Amino acid sequence: MKKFFLLLISFFLISCNGQERKAVKQNNQPKMEKNNLEQITFGGGCFWCVESCFNMLKGVESAVSGYSGGHKNYPTYEEVCTGETGHAEVVQITYDPKIISYEQLMDVFFFLHDPTQLNRQGNDIGTQYRSVIYYKDDAEKAKAEEAIKVSQESGRWTGTYVTELTKFDKFWPAEQYHQGYYNENPTQPYCSAVVGPKIQKFKKHFGELGMLNEE
């Protein structure tokens, strides 16, 4: 009977300790302020990878795949893929600048794609895959220009950056099946061959910097 009570007490202490650790872990997550959120929209190739990575960052409320920069209202994925609508595949980020800065978001953006490739990313070729930052005003344009300069001078990519800077007009959310596409389809051939390795590289680098949400 004594052994039974000792085992019971040990189990209780271990359980409580585990719950305490869990609570501490949850409390480490930064709390975003809804009235303090800002948005930024940019394109860096296929939006499946870009969206998935930004949704892992502390301070990012949402990353939504969509289309910007074209001349047709309510474009479809099939239309954008032809290159005839002028849209780029983009991701619109809603974030709390008190937790993650514009400069940090830009650092992630330039980490995830090659800004020296014109109208392509690897084997994805077309104007819809162009490197582009959409700015809302002159102040944001200046910050984007500085971010491009800082990244180019860092030597991360060899060559001249061709990232386009364009005044933001409209953002059209992509079809629902594109949202969270990689998480739902990790074994899809393109995801496993292209997106997956990029995400793992991203998680290692920014995880070591402490910028990722705890899983």
- C-alpha–C-alpha distance, residues 212 and 215, integer Å: 9
**Could you give the angle at which helices 102-112 and 47-54 cross, rounded to 10 degrees?**
140
Write down how long the chain is: 215
Is residue 81 part of the annotated active site? The answer reads: no
- From residue 118, alpha-carbon distances to 52, 109, 166, 180 in Å are 23, 16, 15, 26
Query: Of the listed 16, 46, 49, 191, which one is catalytic?
Result: 46
Q: Which residues are catalytic?
A: 46
